[in-house]
Amino acid sequence: MSTANALGGEIDVAALHQRTLRTVVASQMLGGAGLAAGITVGALIAEDMLGSDSVAGLPAGLFTLGSALAAFLVGRWSQVAGRRWGLAGGFAAGALGAVGIVVATVLDNPVLFFVALFVYGAGSATNLQARYAGTDLAPSERRATAASVAMLATTLGAVAGPNLVEPLGDLADALGIPTLSGPFLLAAVAYAAAALVLLCFLRPDPLLTARALAAAAAETTPRPDPDTDRVAEAPGWTPGIVLGATVMVLTQFAMVAIMTMTPVHMRDHHHAMSHIGLVIGLHIAAMYLPSLITGRLVDRVGRIPMAVAAAVTLLLAGLVGAFAPGDSMPLLTLSLVLLGLGWNFGLIAGTALLIDATPCRPVPARRAASTS
């Protein structure tokens, strides 16, 4: 469908939406490879660097804090300059953090390592925020599906990353740097490439275009009730925003709590790095691969039922992991697969709730900041 934009031209919204999705898909494939590195070996590097598994959770904490701050900054910058510059900047920061981690391992510098992990978290936040770019121009009844297409694209890189731990370790050895820093070499290249893809191809910017379309529609739509307009434009945390954010926060908390310690737990029970990479790879596959089906279920079954399904699945993952023997690959794998699936349900349901509560029309200016 062609729609007049705010400048008086014509825009084929459906075609632009599809082109935007293709660009987002390409960046997500690359971004997925970048985020997998920290999940797989970050805790192991901290354990080796400081000689204790008591700090194994610290990388995930710093990584998550960095992701949270980056999500806010990327959202704010996207609101000002558009998705293209916001997302490209976030991926560039993630690449810089990955380079910093490699340097820190070479220098055996824990302070630099933890600072770089904080910056590296920007890549993960940006990878998740990119799904919103796929929804800016989507019809309201297909928003969850559009978000799920973007998430599905992460699967290829995210699954390949953990399973390349040993080859990347060999590459690191060949370059004369610590073995476990190898995956972060991949992360630096992948995040930088994702930034370039967005800079070159995410144009016209979907968020700015959605604003222009909304402005054009507002000029031609009568406003019979000024009070209603003021209510619609009032900023603040609506119940929908609070509910969507709560679902995603609890989902992320449960997933990170179990996933972070799995590599350390497995190495303590003498599992090979290839086994750790396989379990984490299957976990990440379960996080992203079901996205297209989950998106359709969220659109058809409803946001709340799928959020409940997420809670039940995450509970099962925790119970299986708690009672699984440390040397049982099948049960550890089942626990991590359920963990990824529950995260997938919760994130897409929460995303849809958040997008529903922050419409691009008639008030598009708040969406990027609210969804950060």
Q: What is the pTM of this model?
A: 0.74
Number of domains into which the chain is organized: 1
Identify the pLDDT of residue 230.
45
Question: Which residue is listed with tokens 């991926």?
Answer: 91
Structural domain contains residue 160: yes
147 pLDDT tier (thresholds 50, 70, 90): confident
Q: Cβ–Cβ contacts within 10 Å for residue 163, how many?
A: 18
Comparing 123-127, 137-141, 174-178, 343-347, the range with the smallest average pLDDT is 137-141
Structural domain contains residue 156: yes
> To the nearest whole percent, how much of the chain has pLDDT over 70?
84
Identify the pLDDT of residue 7.
42
Structural domain contains residue 177: yes
HSE at residue 38, side-chain half, CA atoms within 13 A, is: 37
Identify the pLDDT of residue 40.
67
Question: Which residue is listed with tokens 């990353």?
Answer: 161
Structural domain contains residue 224: no
3-state secondary structure of 3: strand
Which CATH number does the domain housing residue 115 bear?
1.20.1250.20
Give 180's DSSP letter.
Answer: G
Structural domain contains residue 221: no
Structural domain contains residue 114: yes
Tell me the C-alpha distance between 22 and 44, whole Å: 35
Residues of the domain holding 56: 2-215+236-370
202-246 confidence digits (pLDDT tens): 989 998 888 888 777 777 766 555 544 444 444 456 788 889 989
Identify the pLDDT of residue 64.
78
Identify the pLDDT of residue 56.
63
Report yes or no: 343 and 251 within 8 Å, Cβ to Cβ.
yes
Sign of the Cα torsion 245, 128, 334, 292 reads positive
